[in-house]
Every structure is written in structure tokens, then in C-alpha cells.
Amino acid sequence: MKKVAIIGSGNIGTDLMIKIIRTSKVLEMGCFVGIDPESDGLARAKRMGVEVCATGIDGLIEMPIWKEIDVVFDATSAKAHVYNFGRMEAFPDKKIVDLTPAAIGPFVVPAVSFDSDLRSKLGLHFDTFAIANTQSDKQRINFNMVTCGGQATIPIVAAVSRIAKVHYGEIVASIASKSAGPGTRANIDEFTETTSEAIEKVGGATKGKAIIILNPAEPPLVMRDTVFTLSDQADREEIRESIHAMVAEVQQYVPGYTLHQEVQFDDIPEDEPVFIEGVGYKSGLKTTVLLQVIGAGHYLPEYAGNLDIMTSAAMAVGEKLVQY
């Protein structure tokens, strides 16, 4: 078992802590870190017998347990992560899994990043987890989990990309307002920017766009995601099979991840092309995929699928990292 620390005692950090304690056979909680001594997350950690620190990354580095930590999960905010990473650069033996949209290191989406054949197909020639020499020292220890919306939708864009050239990928992530803590709300701009970039760099689209909706409905609704792609014409059944295979791949680490409806296709004829900013006029095949993510209920109830897919993906990456 390898010891890990989690920085950020909000919804995401607390959910990840409970998930590691209950389900991981590889990772062991070493320390749970926050900046609010009265936070519910730190209180839960204490009750669960986890060592806690209420003085952030600075306090963690001064603790005896720091020497035993292999992986640090950062579940704070994009701005806070910049500071946290700056403090950790002096410790290259520690790996960072960044659950904020700071995007300092390489993007990681397990269903895509763990698949060497798919990485090659999409032009992602470096092995993120072997810490390839093509990456800078800064990037070698910092792995970015994109966003919850990115974790849910980028695998689908990649599934289409391995069959046909994707000119445009657009995703709309709708999450329950109750599931969005202060860190998520502070990162809305970074969410859209980072997810859009990862749709291109990991999903394989020429142009990406991301939209997030905080749904205030009561009772809270589960996470819903819509993925639109515009690609070259291709065999629709091949695309459908590729998407179903990708959903099954994501379900290996996020069981509540499902297709909400069957995959839909529409032709965009050559004489009626659509204009894509930064790409120009394009015709081809429009693919629409509707997803839902039901959470495991480790911290917040099942409606918080956005927490579950982010923390499940992060834990999968952490487990992968300690194997190298």
C-alpha cells in the first residue's frame, strides 16, 4: 500500500478520501489537508482515523508523514493549485494528481490515456504514465484530471475520433447545483477553457467547446452530459460500436456511467455546411450522445455523479502512478 495525501477538504476532496479508504487496494490515506479547521471534511477524516492538517500544503510539508507520501491529490482550486505545485516542485519524488482545471501538466483521462493503441491512433505518442522524456520536469510530476465534464465526455469524442476525423466536438455538462462547492464555482471559467482544450488534445477534435450548467432543480438531478461531434462521414455502426465499447471502458472505474439514450446521427450535407469558428465551413456526420452519471454516494448522494467520475478517475490515475 502506498500512502497518499489529499489537499482540499471540500466536496471533491472528501469524496476522494472516502473512496480511497473504502475501495482502493493500492492506496492508503496518509494525510487529509485543508485550511479550515472547522470544515466537515477534516472532521470526517478525524472520525475515520486519518491524520489531518489544517494549514494547507505548507503544514503538510512540515509533518513527519510527508516523507512517506507517494502521491498528492490536489482538490482545491486552479489558483490554489498553482501555489501548491510551486511548493511541491522541490520534491520531484512526489507525484501530483491535479483535480483542478489548472492544466499545468499533461491531461489524463483514464479510458483514453491507459489505452496505448488509442493514444497512438489519436497522435498521443508519449506514455503519460511512464513519464516520457518528451515531457518537461514540471510536467513529469503533475497530472491534470481536466474536469468532471471532461472526464465524462472526452472518452466519447475519442471514441468517434478513432473511427473518423472529428472536426468539432462540443460538450454540455449539467450538474446539480447542490453538488458544486466553492472550489467548483470559483473555477467556472477555467472549467470551460481547460475542457475545451482537452477535447482537442485528448479527444482528438480539431476544435473543442465546453459548456457547464449548474442546475438548481429540486430534488437535485443526476449529472447529465451531452456530446456533439461533427466528423467526416463514416460507417455509423462502427461509430456506435466504438462509443458502446468506450462506455464499457469508463464503467470499469465509474459504474454509474451510462448512455441515457441511444446514439443519434444526422447528416450535414455538403450544400448546407455549418460554420465552425476557427475551422470554417464543414459538412459531414453529426453524432449526438446523451450520458448520465449516477454517483456512488460515498460523500454526497447519488445525484453528485460529477464528484464520483472525477474522484474515481483520479484514484485510477493514482493507482496507475504508483506502479511505475
Q: Active-site residue numbers? A: 148
| Alpha-helix residue ranges (DSSP H) falling in the chain | 11-23, 40-47, 56-62, 78-88, 110-113, 116-121, 137-140, 148-161, 182-186, 188-201, 236-251, 305-321
What is the rounded end-to-end Cα distance, in angstroms, of the chain?
Answer: 14
Contact 50, 77 (CB under 8 A): no
Q: How far, in Å, CA of 278 to CA of 204, rounded? A: 15
Residues paired with 5 in a beta bridge: 31, 72
Residues paired with 52 in a beta bridge: 32
Contact 159, 286 (CB under 8 A): no
Q: How far, in Å, CA of 17 to CA of 43, rounded? A: 12
**Cell 504514465 sits at which residue?**
129
Q: How far, in Å, CA of 222 to CA of 10, rounded? A: 19
Three-class secondary structure of residue 76 per DSSP = coil
CA nearest neighbour of 42 among 60, 22, 62:
60
Contact 251, 305 (CB under 8 A): no
Contact 175, 223 (CB under 8 A): yes
Cβ partners under 8 Å of residue 200, min gap 6: 169, 206, 207, 208
Max Cα–Cα distance, the chain, nearest Å: 68
Contact 279, 230 (CB under 8 A): no
